[in-house]
Structure 1
């Protein structure tokens, strides 16, 4: 679905200059936000790594992200995890989100530069609100599971095998029609994502911007469900895992033939799951 620009696609010279300035400002702010979030993510992961990990039965180590350090309160631990989660998600998802936000700006049509910037920011906040809610749900589940693993050695010994099975399942999810449907929604035009009829331009209002950000965030979280599970079980603050998952998400979202790329990613994830299961069985 295409949206025509103001004046049927014919811009006056002044408008063309203003559009170029707007484009440069948008991408400059996006690049700065990515650089800051990436730096904070690296710093947080390094700090978490310095805290050390707890050796567990079964030959694996538990991340400090799920544990309360001496002198910490659980609200402080939760706030720290959520802060790191949000920053990490901005760094991981922004490269694939920026093109979608730019398409939203183009679809909005005539709007003042200040208002367009505000609407774009609102759409982005709506998108990351979904990921923040996901982090808020993941933390108590992770803490509860970690507590059970520390109290039940038999459960802890089963973790390496369970991780392999989860990774294998995440890879298999990449081949499903469910994955393909949500990936198509993530790559769709803003109007199609919002299920609006074909219009010359999207409404330039806060409700539409917020709704677009939320819908895109929901489709993205569904689309990335398998890869997010890989991140959570393989190393939520492991920079290597983060880099691989980020690359996989970006490629399947932006490269031509997204569904084909998702299947290629699936082959790699399935292979990793098989290796993890074989290793767990060998250690067992």
Structure 2
């Protein structure tokens, strides 16, 4: 299916068409930012006292997924808002539901990514017990995860996925589906490209403390910069340098990493029981 022919849009120039659509769909963008703000507030309340540093326990599946989905809304809605606005501008019917379904499909893909992360963590725990404990392999795995994430920033796959995120018009034109079901499908597909772009950054969040609001904000900021900064190479190389520096510090001098909770150090690392 092709997008509506009557919608006049400029040639695909990266993020320019999406930012132009933001000015036309300010109400929709405001709704997404309000939802993100509510997500941040709820996440801060829910995760208070639960930061146990690298490889923090994830609790029960239901509890983790609920927190994860709200986290993703808080972290991702601001950076995906221009794409949603552009999608809304391109639809034939000015239905307020379709762009929200697009955002819901996007969030659904991230929920699936969270489910996979939970399953992998449970598998490792079952197979190797407390191997990810800080005083065992946890510190080394955390540092290695950050270094691998830095390397991924410079790979062709990262470049391709980020390109889809930074060229919303090209993505929408190439994957258009009509109707509400189509909105959900397109949102999910866009979410898949975003997961391909950001999975290493999310792995870094687990390595630094998935229940840390500070590191959650840092990762969200890095994602927004990569997706919106005009100087694409500066953003990706800067992110790679940051992740590499953090990885080296975690391996050699974890106490020098700001806001990093070192499990078992000076009584920090004790956490409130999760549901």
Common topology (TM > 0.5): yes
Q: Is the 8 A contact 1:185 1:193 kept in 2?
A: no
Partner of 2:183 in structure 1? 209
Query: Which has a greater percent of helix?
Result: 1
1:242 is aligned to 2:235:
no
CA drift of 1:20 comes to 10
Partner of 1:221 in structure 2? 195
CA drift of 1:156 comes to 5.3
Partner of 1:74 in structure 2? none
Structure number, greater radius of gyration = 1
CA drift of 1:191 comes to 4.5
Partner of 1:233 in structure 2? 207
- Cα deviation code 1:28-56 (max 9, x no counterpart): 3122211110101111110534xxx4xxx
Residue of structure 2 aligned with 1:181, choices 141, 160, 164: 160
Q: Partner of 2:223: helix, strand, or coil? A: helix
User: Whole-Å Cα distance in 2 between the matches of residues 102 and 167 of structure 1?
Assistant: 33
Cα distance change, pair 161–64 in 1 and its aligned pair in 2 (3 A): closer
Q: Give the structure-2-normalised TM-score.
A: 0.77
User: Whole-Å Cα distance in 1 between the matches of residues 47 and 8 of structure 2?
Assistant: 49
Q: Partner of 2:50: helix, strand, or coil? A: helix
Partner of 2:28 in structure 1? 26
How many pairs align?
Answer: 241
Cα distance change, pair 270–217 in 1 and its aligned pair in 2 (3 A): same
Partner of 1:103 in structure 2? 86
- Cα deviation code 1:204-229 (max 9, x no counterpart): 42243122211110000000021011
Q: Give the structure-1-normalised TM-score.
A: 0.75
Q: Is the 8 A contact 2:149 2:243 kept in 1?
A: yes
CA drift of 1:118 comes to 1.2
Q: Is the 8 A contact 1:190 1:212 kept in 2?
A: no
1:135 is aligned to 2:114:
yes
Q: Partner of 1:216: helix, strand, or coil? A: helix
User: Whole-Å Cα distance in 2 between the matches of residues 234 and 241 of structure 1?
Assistant: 7
Q: Partner of 2:224: helix, strand, or coil? A: helix
Partner of 2:263 in structure 1? none
Residue of structure 2 aligned with 1:172, choices 147, 151, 169: 151
Cα distance change, pair 8–219 in 1 and its aligned pair in 2 (3 A): closer
- Cα deviation code 1:141-190 (max 9, x no counterpart): 22343455655699951221121111011011111111111000111134
- Cα deviation code 1:199-255 (max 9, x no counterpart): xxx664224312221111000000002101101222111111101111100000011
Cα distance change, pair 244–47 in 1 and its aligned pair in 2 (3 A): same
User: Whole-Å Cα distance in 2 between the matches of residues 43 and 167 of structure 1?
Assistant: 27
Stretches of structure 2 lacking an aligned partner (at least 5 in a row): 10-20, 255-275
The higher relative CO (CA closer than 8 Å, separation ≥ 6) is in 2
Residue of structure 1 aligned with 2:58, choices 60, 65, 75: 65
CA drift of 1:24 comes to 3.6
User: Whole-Å Cα distance in 1 between the matches of residues 137 and 23 of structure 2?
Assistant: 56
